[in-house]
């Protein structure tokens, strides 16, 4: 049994992950799974006025306000294809990553942060999922210069916006849209952004781009189904059993554990663990994860990249990488074997296998493709 697999075993039954599912109903009720899209053009709101960047400045921290629509670039918003709303080359951002009522919004360098994610609902609210609050005109004022902020969604006129739909499609040609991603993970941790995932795709350009459209979607569904199982629906960013943290330093490695003996616990969508896995993943990605393992729990794109690293390059206890299993049509069951086969496959833990299969079948249904054969291991 490889060390990575032994780690997965220690995390135990997925059921304990579901403690965070209490937020699922609220999220599902709020969102209509419509992505935040504003094709190059205006976002209009109260009194028919426009979301406007003050003084048309693209400096970080510039206020976003309500103003008479005038057709200038200060009012020209676009969908970045990653859940962001952009103007003047920067992103609509909640100040200081706040989730409090009254937190102002501003223009800032796009970072992939949860405070720059926006979803337009069918009811014309523009919602920041991390805060679960709506874009709002302060004091319900229609005066020019009224500051925009986030506030608990009330359905009031000062929270209603017309954001023209973009031309469709998904960023980087990814076969999973943001709306589908949100449907798959209605109660996900705000750390696991769609933008972080799409930003990570360039690290492994063959992922979900190889073969027919059906195969591409099957691979994306297979990856996300296994991720779903490993993180309890993208709820957990780090391993929950802190007692294990000191166990993941293999001192026999010549490079040791420079970040500390307890620094290499499970993080990210595949719960990367052990100093040698951080070293191998970092070397492959061109990121110093051995010295900076916390990047996997603080940078969404890096977290997703570590999951894609394992998927595309590691066979674990299996005989092929999960990527090869899907593109060569060996079946979803072989991805389970490559991730945790020593503990789940061949009848060792059929309930865990079934959990993964159930998610895969659900996700392929969302993507409109058949799951294929050989689902079990």
* 99 within a domain of the structure (yes/no): yes
Within 13 Å and on the Cβ side, how many CA atoms surround 210? Answer: 13
Within 13 Å and on the Cβ side, how many CA atoms surround 25? Answer: 1
pLDDT digits (tens, 9 = 90+) for 12-61: 333 333 333 333 333 333 333 333 444 447 899 999 999 999 999 999 99
- pLDDT at site 214: 93
* 376 within a domain of the structure (yes/no): no
Q: What are phi and psi of 47, to 5 degrees?
A: 60, 20
Domain CATH number, residue 78 = 2.80.10.50
Mean of all residue pLDDT scores within the chain: 85
Question: Is the domain of 113 the same as that of 238?
Answer: no
- Label residue 164 by pLDDT band (50, 70, 90): low
CB 8 within 8 A of CB 230: yes
Mean pLDDT throughout 149-160? 92
Question: Is the domain of 311 the same as that of 285?
Answer: yes
pLDDT digits (tens, 9 = 90+) for 139-148: 999 999 999 9
State how far the Cα of 76 lies from the Cα of 90, in Å rounded to an integer: 12
Question: Is the domain of 206 the same as that of 350?
Answer: yes
Work out how many domains the chain is built from and give that number.
2
Among candidate residues 178, 219, 230, 239, the one labeled active-site is 230
Question: Is the domain of 186 the same as that of 301?
Answer: yes
Nearest to 63 by CA among 111, 91, 104, 103: 104
Supply the DSSP symbol for 330: -
Buried b vs exposed e over 101-124: b needs ≥16 C-beta within 10 Å?
Answer: eebbbbbbebbbbbbbbbbbbeee
State how far the Cα of 226 lies from the Cα of 158, in Å rounded to an integer: 41
* 373 within a domain of the structure (yes/no): no
Question: Is the domain of 139 the same as that of 182?
Answer: no
Share of the chain above pLDDT 70, in %: 85
Q: Which of 124, 159, 194 is the last residue of a domain?
A: 159
pTM for the structure as a whole: 0.58
pLDDT digits (tens, 9 = 90+) for 178-224: 889 999 999 999 999 998 898 888 888 889 988 898 999 999 999 99
- Label residue 290 by pLDDT band (50, 70, 90): very high
* 218 within a domain of the structure (yes/no): yes
State how far the Cα of 356 lies from the Cα of 224, in Å rounded to an integer: 10
- pLDDT at site 353: 97
> Bridge partners of 135?
150
Residue 136: CB partners within 8 Å, gap ≥ 6? 148, 149, 150, 151, 158, 159
Q: Which residue has the higher pLDDT, 170 or 228?
A: 228
Q: Among this protein's residues, is 219 annotated catalytic?
A: no
Q: Which domain holds residue 238?
A: 3-25+170-367
């Amino acid at each position: 049994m490889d060390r990575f697999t032994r780690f997965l075993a220690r995390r135990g039954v997925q059921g304990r992950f579901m403690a965070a599912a209490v937020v699922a109903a609220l999220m599902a009720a709020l969102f209509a799974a419509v992505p935040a899209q504003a094709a190059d053009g205006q976002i209009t709101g109260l009194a028919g006025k426009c979301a406007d960047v003050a003084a048309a400045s693209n400096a970080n921290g510039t206020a976003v306000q309500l103003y008479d629509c005038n057709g200038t670039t200060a009012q020209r918003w676009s969908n970045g294809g990653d859940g962001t709303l952009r103007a003047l080359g920067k992103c609509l951002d909640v100040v200081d990553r706040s989730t409090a009522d009254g937190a102002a919004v501003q223009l800032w360098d796009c970072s992939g942060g949860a405070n720059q994610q926006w979803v337009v609902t069918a009811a014309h609210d523009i919602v920041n999922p991390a805060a679960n609050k709506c874009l709002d005109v302060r004091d319900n004022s229609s005066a020019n210069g009224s500051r925009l902020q986030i506030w608990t969604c009330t359905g009031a006129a000062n929270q209603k916006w017309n954001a023209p739909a973009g031309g469709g499609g998904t960023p980087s040609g990814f076969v999973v849209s943001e709306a589908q991603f949100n449907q798959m993970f209605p109660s996900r941790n705000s750390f696991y952004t769609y933008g972080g995932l799409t930003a990570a795709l360039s690290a492994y350009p063959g992922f979900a781009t190889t073969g027919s459209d059906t195969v591409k979607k099957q691979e994306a569904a297979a990856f996300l189904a296994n991720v779903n199982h490993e993180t309890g629906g993208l709820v957990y960013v780090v391993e929950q059993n802190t007692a294990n943290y000191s166990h993941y330093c293999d001192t026999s490695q010549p490079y040791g554990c420079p970040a500390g003996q307890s620094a290499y616990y499970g993080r990210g969508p595949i719960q990367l663990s052990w100093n040698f896995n951080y070293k191998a993943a970092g070397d492959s990605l061109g990121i110093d994860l051995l010295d900076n393992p916390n990047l996997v729990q603080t940078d969404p794109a890096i977290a997703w990249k570590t999951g894609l690293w394992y998927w595309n390059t590691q066979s674990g206890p299996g005989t092929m990488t999960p990527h090869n299993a899907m593109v060569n049509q060996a079946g979803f069951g072989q991805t389970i074997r490559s991730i945790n086969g020593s503990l789940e496959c061949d009848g060792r833990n059929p309930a865990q296998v079934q959990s993964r299969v159930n998610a895969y079948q659900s996700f392929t249904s969302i993507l409109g493709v058949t799951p294929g054969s050989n689902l079990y291991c």
